[in-house]
């Protein structure tokens, strides 16, 4: 699909290629001349006004979200590519593009199954015990919704469940025996708040069955391992953004170990991403 080039100044598409802008790290960047406002501009491919090479940026994001700290990633770039960059810049890249890609992927359509599994877990942040809520579609292994909060209560559970069904409408959602879930389900699905939508609530009570809500626990194990690599999270404003990046990595970047497919591909998101999936997602998010 050919994207239409829009002028940054007047939003016109009446333009043509004219010359290049030469940069130290990104090479030559195509310049355009707008016939309407008679100004030059460069197209926003997701890296507009970024000094560093998109390949370096996306590799750093991928490695950081996978398992490498920002300082270790900085050291790897210096040792192997002789590329000097601050570890703070790497963190800024992760936060910037996690937010941008998140806005894009939230508007996509997904073909999901009928059985969702939801749970909440503790995330440590500067001595605090925050809550991370997550819902998984078992057929595709796609995380359908997540929520970051400072506590667990029926109000937060309602906010989480709204996000959990934003991409699909399952027949049931299974949770553990948390006392806040039944009240949240009653408020949302057994009234007219969501157009009369009714979703069955299945409860896996470990005290009774001695069986964990294991299908979502496998996802939590991977997520919590990555947070441990962070040595806990820091600022409250940053923590939800970094968790967003981890969810994007799970849904759109890495093959699931059981299905050997990326969850978004299993859900027929039809993005046709290449091997550098972060790069393609950033390009797509810039064109929307």
Residue 265 belongs to some domain of the structure = yes
State how many domains the chain has. 2
CA 101 to chain centre: 7
CA 240 to chain centre: 10
248 and 119 in one domain?
yes
In this structure, the number of other CB atoms found within 10 A of the CB of residue 210 comes to 7
Mean pLDDT along residues 275-283:
95
Residue 244 belongs to some domain of the structure = yes
124 and 13 in one domain?
no
What is the signed CA dihedral for 226, 110, 274, 105, rounded to 10 degrees? -60
pLDDT at position 288: 64
Average per-residue pLDDT for the chain: 89
Residue 166 belongs to some domain of the structure = yes
Residue 75 belongs to some domain of the structure = no
CATH code at position 214: 3.30.420.10
Residue 149 belongs to some domain of the structure = yes
pLDDT tens profile 22-31: 877 777 888 9
251 and 171 in one domain?
yes
pLDDT at position 192: 47
Residue 72 belongs to some domain of the structure = no
200 and 119 in one domain?
yes
pLDDT tens profile 178-237: 899 999 998 887 654 555 667 889 998 777 776 776 778 888 888 888 887 777 788 999
Residue 106 belongs to some domain of the structure = no
Residue 32 belongs to some domain of the structure = yes
Q: Which residue range forms the structural domain that includes residue 15?
A: 1-43
Measure the CA–CA gap between 128 and 233, rounded to whole angstroms.
Answer: 10
pLDDT at position 1: 43
Q: Are strands 40-42 and 128-137 parallel, antiparallel or unpaired?
A: unpaired
134 and 259 in one domain?
yes
């Amino acid at each position: 699909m050919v994207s239409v080039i829009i002028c940054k100044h007047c939003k016109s598409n009446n333009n043509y290629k004219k010359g290049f802008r030469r940069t130290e790290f990104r090479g030559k960047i195509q310049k355009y001349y707008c016939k309407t406002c008679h100004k030059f501009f460069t197209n926003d491919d997701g890296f507009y006004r970024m000094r560093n090479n998109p390949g370096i940026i996306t590799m750093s994001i991928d490695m950081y979200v996978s398992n490498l700290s920002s300082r270790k990633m900085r050291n790897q770039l210096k040792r192997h590519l002789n590329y000097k960059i601050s570890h703070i810049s790497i963190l800024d890249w992760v936060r910037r593009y996690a937010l941008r890609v998140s806005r894009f992927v939230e508007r996509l359509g997904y073909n999901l199954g009928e059985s969702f599994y939801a749970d909440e877990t503790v995330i440590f942040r500067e001595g605090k015990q925050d809550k991370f809520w997550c819902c998984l579609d078992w057929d595709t292994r796609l995380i359908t919704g997540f929520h970051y909060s400072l506590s667990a209560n029926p109000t937060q559970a309602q906010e989480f469940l709204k996000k959990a069904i934003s991409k699909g409408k399952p027949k049931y959602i299974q949770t553990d025996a948390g006392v806040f879930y039944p009240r949240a389900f009653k408020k949302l699905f057994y009234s007219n708040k969501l157009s009369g939508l009714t979703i069955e609530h299945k409860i896996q009570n470990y005290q009774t069955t001695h069986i964990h809500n294991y299908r979502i626990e496998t996802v939590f194990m991977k997520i919590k391992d990555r947070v441990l690599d962070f040595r806990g999270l820091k600022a409250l404003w940053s923590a939800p953004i970094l968790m967003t990046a981890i969810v994007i990595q799970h849904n759109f970047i890495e093959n699931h170990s059981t299905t050997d497919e990326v969850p978004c591909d299993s859900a027929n998101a039809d993005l046709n991403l290449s091997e550098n999936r972060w790069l393609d997602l950033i390009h797509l998010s810039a064109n929307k």
